[in-house]
Amino acid sequence: MADAVEMIEEDEGLPRNLVTMVIDAVDLGDAEAVDALLDPLHAADIADLYEQIDQRDRAALLRLWQGGMDGDILSELGDDLREEVINALGPIELAEAVRDLESDDVVDLVEDLDEEQQWQVLDALEVGDRVAVEKALAYPEDSAGRLMQVEVVRAPSHWTVGETIDYLRASDDLPEQFYHVVLVDPRMKPVGYVALGRLLGTPRPIHLTELAEDGFRTFRVDQDEEDVAYAFNQYHLISAPVVDEDDRLVGVITIDDAMIVLDDEHDEDILRLAGVDAESNLTDKVIATTKRRFPWLAVNLVTAIFASLVISMFEDTIATLVALAVLMPIVASMGGNAGTQSLTVAVRSIATKDLTGANVWRVIRREVLVGLVNGVIFAVAMGLIGWVWFSQPMLGVVIALAMVINMVVAGLAGTGIPVLLAKMGIDPALASGAFVTTVTDVVGFFAFLGLAAMLLL
């Protein structure tokens, strides 16, 4: 067991064979071994381990690992697993788990739970913490009010460094981590902030206003958390105050919470590009996963039928020249891949606000020209292949022309469709894929078979 613990401490992430070792210890009912294996791990690694074992082993582990589950681990778990663990914990264990969490972490913990489970967690909090969490939950979902923590280190703007340091040393309720001291006026409106490192490195008589950082900004409680995360990333913020409708200080957002939002948005876009629900994870049940994936598979079926109808228009052409059936998927596939490349770049640029009305036409023009250049290069190659393969020079010309047309259209559709959907208020990551695929399939088949009907028959 000592070797196992040493291995855990030396490796990053989940050590090899750790999951098997934990399951073996659980099967043997060896609580001491479970403690020795899990105690050295980071909360995120323990959450990963929970996601890698099945429901029976998770329940057995919770029973055996008494008192081991804490709020940091609960915060790292996915929504479904979090509900499962909260239901398995007793009231006393739940109270111990959430007691030391900051208010923003508690809000993140409970906001996706059902009402009964929310009350389980809220009842485990002290009165002041419960009131703060309930107030945060009253703000709109995905807003700065939900993202902020109410534990703020603030000081009157007229204080000196010495007065501030004395206050901080005497205070017994400072947040576990903070980066700035927020300066407020007599009406509790934030007017600036001072970095903690600069505060500690400045002589005591200096006034705080002389140390205030440039680039100070605040966020409203009802501001969308995506905009907050973008601002943190764009302006390299570490923390920022949150104000109410009267511009009074009510909380603070820190970089770790903003980056979680940014990561979640990126993950969501990636999943939606594949037609997968953003809430999907590896612990979902079969029925739940099926329900989430079914709608977009149905959409893809409809678009595939539409593309097939285009093919059916040229049944006689295909029957006359069977080589068309062999080469036809190549044209559609190349267009689909080119469209997906443009689509991915466009969706990411829209999400990061890099693609705007000021540069949209320049970007579309670039993608069309990229499609044209790539189309010409691959058209020459595929034209020669078609000529040699089927001993028909004109067949090579047909597939070359069709490939150029489809690659150009792919660049146009891959950029234009996400922009158009965004203008219509539709998430481009969610809906663009099906439309771009349909366009490249339909155009590819129509161009190839139409040109074949005109030039070869």
Global pTM reads: 0.64
Q: Where are the alpha helices (DSSP H) in 138-241?
A: 144-147, 161-170, 196-200, 225-235
Token reading at 23:
């399951």
Fill in the amino acid letter for 222: D
The whole-number pLDDT of residue 271 equals 62
Fill in the amino acid letter for 426: I
What domains, with CATH codes, occur in the chain? 2-141 (1.25.60.10), 154-270 (3.10.580.10), 286-455 (1.10.357.20)
The whole-number pLDDT of residue 287 equals 76
Neighbours of 303 (CB within 10 A): 18
Q: DSSP code of 148? A: -
* 418-424 CB contacts, 8 Å cutoff, 24+ apart: 418/343, 418/346, 418/347, 418/350, 419/346, 419/350, 419/355, 419/360, 419/364, 422/350
Q: From first to last of its 457 residues, what are the pLDDT tens digits of the chain?
A: 444 444 444 445 577 788 889 999 888 888 888 888 888 888 888 888 888 888 888 888 888 887 678 878 887 887 778 778 877 777 777 777 777 777 777 887 777 777 777 787 788 777 877 888 888 888 888 899 988 988 899 999 999 999 999 999 998 888 888 999 999 999 999 999 999 999 999 999 999 999 999 889 999 999 999 899 989 988 889 999 999 999 999 999 999 888 888 877 766 666 666 555 555 555 566 776 677 667 767 877 887 888 888 888 888 888 888 888 888 888 888 998 898 889 888 887 887 778 888 888 999 999 999 999 999 999 899 889 888 888 888 888 999 999 999 999 999 999 999 899 888 888 787 778 878 888 999 999 999 999 998 888 7
Give, in order, the Cα–Cα distances in Å from 115 to each of 83, 110, 142, 291, 405.
11, 9, 18, 24, 56
State whether residue 223 is helix, strand or coil. Answer: coil
Q: How many helices (H) and strands (E) does the chain have?
A: 22, 6
The whole-number pLDDT of residue 99 equals 72
The whole-number pLDDT of residue 268 equals 67
Based on the number of CB atoms within 10 Å of its own CB, is 394 exposed (0-12), middle (13-18) or buried (19 or more)?
middle
Q: For the residues of 293-329, what is the DSSP string, one character each?
A: HHHHHHHHHHHHHHHHHHHHTTHHHHHH-THHHHHHH
Among 155, 177, 179, residue whose Cα is nearest residue 100: 177
Among 211, 129, 130, 216, residue whose Cα is nearest residue 173: 129
Q: DSSP code of 10? A: H
Query: E strands within 110-220?
Result: 154-156, 180-184, 190-195, 219-220
Whole-number Å distance between alpha carbons of 183 and 155: 5
Give the distance, in angstroms, between the CA of residue 328 and the centroid of all CA atoms in the same chain. Answer: 37
The whole-number pLDDT of residue 228 equals 92
Whole-number Å distance between alpha carbons of 83 and 409: 47
